[in-house]
Structure 1
Amino acid sequence: MLFSKAKTYRDLGLVAFPSALFEINEPVIFGFPIVMNPLTMLPFIFIPLILAASSSLLVGLMHLQ
């Protein structure tokens, strides 16, 4: 969102960036039209799944050593 062409998305990205560092995503969820737009909803669904799967895989690999 910080590098978006739309000024409103850039502004929202600047406002939400500090809280997003601490995994507080409410400014993005309530400020960005996610509900009826599946294209913007997909990252909110798949990124946590990818991060959880990769984290559990890496923890499992660490236990093998």
Structure 2
Amino acid sequence: MESPYLDLKNSGMYVSGLEGAVGLLTAACGHLFVDVGKLLLNPLLFGFFHLLLTSLFAFLP
């Protein structure tokens, strides 16, 4: 007959392992999302500021 303590310990280890895997996956997705966001936003921001500056200089005499 197995002790319930052992079963509880095993399930606890399984849950913590699962949480660790989910946390790792979330972190990886977060980094990927941030990298993709940077790649998409940098040209947009650069283009926006470039347009802003050129329009400002165009209005200057």
Q: TM-score, normalized by length of structure 1?
A: 0.40
Q: TM-score, normalized by length of structure 2?
A: 0.43
**Structure number with higher helix proportion:** 2
Larger relative contact order (C-alpha < 8 A, sep ≥ 6)?
Answer: 1
